[in-house]
Amino acid sequence: MGDPLHRVDKGHFKALFMLGAEDDEMSVENVDAQLHLPDGTRWSATFMTPREIERIMNRWRTTGEEGGGAYFQCRDLVVVPSGGVTAMVSAFEAILDSGGPEGYLQLLGTQSG
């Protein structure tokens, strides 16, 4: 695959998706991302589809992690209905339209300059 850092510039925000070696930007269902705003704030999100959450919990039932799959927890989780960076960018846009990212995403810090 190409560059593991997939960047999207929407003008009013920039997004950085940290793709794994096997991830395809068109179909990825589990990816960490950062939202960069013009005020210099950076916010984190872990995007997953319901199918990916189910796959992970099923694996945990056999590995014993997280109480044998009894629960799933992720501090900056954003669930999207389908995979792909395009769906995740749409989620970032909807979060901003809803008054976020504060209250929706985890603040990473502020960049100056």
Q: Measure the CA–CA gap between 56 and 61, rounded to whole angstroms.
A: 9
**Would you state the pLDDT for residue 4?**
86
Q: What is the pLDDT of residues 72-108, one digit of tens each?
A: 999 999 999 999 999 999 999 999 999 999 999 999 9
Q: What is the pLDDT of residues 55-81, one digit of tens each?
A: 999 999 999 999 999 999 999 999 999
Q: Is the pTM of this model over 0.85?
A: yes
Q: Measure the CA–CA gap between 19 and 33, rounded to whole angstroms.
A: 9
Q: Measure the CA–CA gap between 62 and 74, rounded to whole angstroms.
A: 20
**Would you state the pLDDT for residue 111?**
79
Residue 2 pLDDT exceeds 80:
no
Bridge partner residues of 28 (DSSP): none
Q: Which residues contact 59 (CB under 8 A, 6 or more apart)?
A: 65, 69
Q: Measure the CA–CA gap between 43 and 33, rounded to whole angstroms.
A: 8
Residue 113 pLDDT exceeds 80:
no
